[in-house]
Structures are given as structure tokens and as C-alpha cells.
Amino acid sequence: MTRTDEFERSIAYGEAALTYLKGNRTPAYPRNYELWYVYAAGFNRELNKAVNEALKRLGHLPEELTQRFYDEFLSPVRLSDRVGEVSTRVSRELDQIINLLEESGGNAESYGASLRSAADILGSAGTKQQIRTALEKVIAATVSMERYNSALEKQLKESRVQITELQESLEAIRYESLTDQLTGLANRKHFDQSLERAIDVAARRGEPLSLVLCDIDHFKKFNDTYGHQTGDQVLRLVGAAIKSTVKGRDLAARYGGEEFGIILPNTSLEAGVTVANQIRSAVMAKELIKRSTGESLGRITMSAGVATLRPLESRDSLIERADACLYASKHNGRNRVTSEAELDPSTSSAVA
């Protein structure tokens, strides 16, 4: 995507956000603008679903609902609060386990003392009654220790279950923070972090690293014609097609709007072009059906660009070269893949 395309798209989302603010008579505070901008862009599936349901029910979005939806779906505090809550619960469980183990140590020491006392009695016992008393003391201490160990085992099992559930909760939060809700692919944050790591690994190991950037053809026109809900359906369809094609160490992400990025570790330029064409074919093979009417809306096509990491190259430079290849695909008729090997100097300078 060129800077001009990105500028025009962001302005379109911004103008739509202002229209929503005016239509709902919502004060144009930054957080309210952010909510409607994200809604217009379709970046947050759950937010759009909640807003659409409220609009259907009420006809507009009251300010109190706007604030609630922002806090629920967009506020950066929300994720940190959830992580903090789970971390507190983990700490509580660990403290409980430590207390149990300390108590277990005290009981074991008490049991040892009981055994030593019984041994002393047996050593000096002169009658059957004294021997019996010593044995009864050993048996009573052993039964008590068995009961305590049984209770301790039960409590430790329960704590283990709790900690496993909390670990799963943290993993779910981590997954959510790195995943695009609409497509199920990695989000931009995950993409940026993963590309930095992949570049570092490729440089250290001397392996090739290819990057594919692809973009849905005529998506804005499609979105304007059929509406955001159908546009979301297109994005989900494309996400599923990409996910079914990308394997192993490769990472697919929703790079922004209708643009996607695929990181291909240990992959040559030629192999990267093959993957890009597989994605393009997988997307084009799916027919889009409008759910509300069953009407066929035809097939979706994608354009893609592929570049391979150069020595000492930065992340931004690699992205820029893949983006130049994507622009060339758009410029030369769409529904095609262009590799950096195909670019001529005039095309490269036009993109820059």
C-alpha cells in the first residue's frame, strides 16, 4: 500500500468517525473519536457487534454506552487489569502452597519427635503395658500423619488445578493481545515483533527470510457498496484462506485494514512467490455469498508483493520493498504477485 493509499483510507475512516459522532450527538473527545474510528475501520469485531446491536435496539448510541464500550473493548487499562487480576490470583495460590509445605515440615518434625519418644520408651520398657503404650503412641502419630498427608495431597491437587486454569487464562489474554479479532490472524503488534525476531534469527544463522504483503483488490469499493458487515465477511474469508495456506514457522498477520503480511523464515524469494500465489489462488477459489439474501457476490482477488531480506537490512526497509512490489501488482492490473526481482528502476522510484 502506498503512502497515498494509506492517507486516503485513514481520512475516509476519520470522516466516517466524525459522521458517526455527529449522528449520535456524541462529544468529540479523543476516546469517543477513537471508538468511532475503530468502528468505521472494522478493526475490532466485538466492538462492532456491540455497537450494531445497540444501534438496532436504540437507534443511536447514548454517551453512557459509548463510554462503556470504550472501557470494555478499547481501553488499554482493560488488558493490564485482567493480567493484574490473574497475577494476583497466581500469587495467592503460590502463597497457599508455600504455607502448606511449611506446615507439612512442622508436622513431619512433630512426627519424628513422636517416633523418637516411642523409641526411648521401648528402650527402657520393662513391662508389656509400657511396650503397648509406646506402640499405641507410634500408631496414633502415624494415623495422624497419614490423615494430614492425605489432606495435603488433596489441597495440592486443587492448587495445581487452579494454577493450570490461571496459566490458561494468562495464555488466553496473551493470545487476545496478539490476535486480530476479526480474522483470527496475528495483529499488527504481533507482526512487528515477529518480523524483528525473524530478521535477527535470519542474520545470525545466515538463512533467507522473505516477506509477502498482500492486499484485497477493490476492497473499499466493495465495502462501500455492500456495507461493513459484508466487508467483515470478506476479511474473515480472506483470513481463513491465508491461515489454511501458511504452515510451520511462517506467520500470517492482518497488517492493517484490508492488507495482510506473511513472514516466511528460511524461505527464498522464489519460494516466497510460490506461497504468495498459493494464497492468491486460495482466496480466489472461494465464492462470496451474502448471508442475508444468499446472493452470490462473486469472487475476491488479491494482489501481492514479495521481497527477501538483504544483509544488514532493517525491518522498515524490508517492508518498504515488499510494499513497492505490492504497488507494482496493483499498478499492473491487480490479482497478481510481483517479486522484487521483477521491479525495474522506474517502478521502484514511483513507489518511493
**Domain boundary pick from 178, 208, 236:** 178
Q: Is residue 122 part of a domain?
A: yes
Same domain, 221 and 329: yes
Residue with cell 491461515: 243
Same domain, 331 and 220: yes
**Domain boundary pick from 74, 89, 113:** 74
Q: Is residue 35 part of a domain?
A: yes
- Residue 168 annotated among the catalytic residues of the structure: no
Q: Is residue 116 part of a domain?
A: yes
The secondary element (H helix, E strand) that includes residue 263 is: strand 259-265
Cβ 33 vs Cβ 73: under 8 Å: no
pLDDT tens per residue across span 25-37: 888 878 888 888 8
Pick the range with the lowest mean pLDDT from 110-114, 144-148, 266-270: 110-114
CA distance 319 to 71: 33
Same domain, 55 and 113: no
At how many degrees (to 10) do helices 76-124 and 128-178 cross?
170
Cβ 187 vs Cβ 194: under 8 Å: no
- What pLDDT is attached to residue 91? 64
Tell me the CATH number at 239: 3.30.70.270
Q: Which of 335, 279, 327 is nearest to 305 (CA)?
A: 327
Same domain, 322 and 292: yes
pLDDT tens per residue across span 118-168: 666 666 666 777 667 767 777 777 777 777 777 777 776 776 666 666 666
**Domain boundary pick from 126, 144, 178:** 178
- What pLDDT is attached to residue 201? 93
Over 90: is that where the pLDDT of 299 sits? no
pLDDT category of residue 256 using cuts at 50, 70 and 90 = confident
Q: Is residue 46 part of a domain?
A: yes
Mean pLDDT of 183-189: 88
Same domain, 102 and 163: yes
Give me the catalytic one of 8, 34, 196, 258. Answer: 258
Same domain, 88 and 58: no
Q: Is residue 183 part of a domain?
A: no
If one counts the domains in the chain, the total is 3
Residue 153 has a CB neighbour count (10 Å cut-off) of 10
The secondary element (H helix, E strand) that includes residue 297 is: strand 296-299
pLDDT category of residue 4 using cuts at 50, 70 and 90 = low
Same domain, 158 and 224: no
Computed over its alpha carbons, how large is the radius of gyration of the chain? Answer: 31
Which amino acid, 274? T
Q: Is residue 61 part of a domain?
A: yes
Beta bridge partners, 20, equal: none
Q: Which residues contact 178 (CB under 8 A, 6 or more apart)?
A: 186, 187, 189, 190
Which amino acid, 24? N
Q: Say if pTM beats, i.e. exceeds, 0.85.
A: no
Same domain, 117 and 135: yes
Which amino acid, 294? G
Same domain, 211 and 290: yes
Cβ 294 vs Cβ 302: under 8 Å: no
Mean pLDDT of 241-258: 90
CA distance 39 to 74: 11
Q: Which of 9, 45, 5 is nearest to 224 (CA)?
A: 9
Over 70: is that where the pLDDT of 109 sits? no
CA distance 172 to 253: 18
- What pLDDT is attached to residue 76? 58
Same domain, 339 and 212: yes
Same domain, 192 and 340: yes
Q: What is the DSSP string of 3-53?
A: HHHHHHHHHHHHHHHHHHHHHTT----HHHHHHHHHHHHT--HHHHHHHHH
- The domain containing residue 88 runs over which residues? 78-178
Same domain, 339 and 193: yes
- What pLDDT is attached to residue 231? 83
Chain centroid offset of residue 77 CA: 17
Which amino acid, 92? R
Give the residue ranges of DSSP H helices in 179-227. 188-205, 219-226
CA distance 287 to 111: 74
Q: Is residue 283 part of a domain?
A: yes
CA distance 46 to 242: 22
Residue 139 has a CB neighbour count (10 Å cut-off) of 11
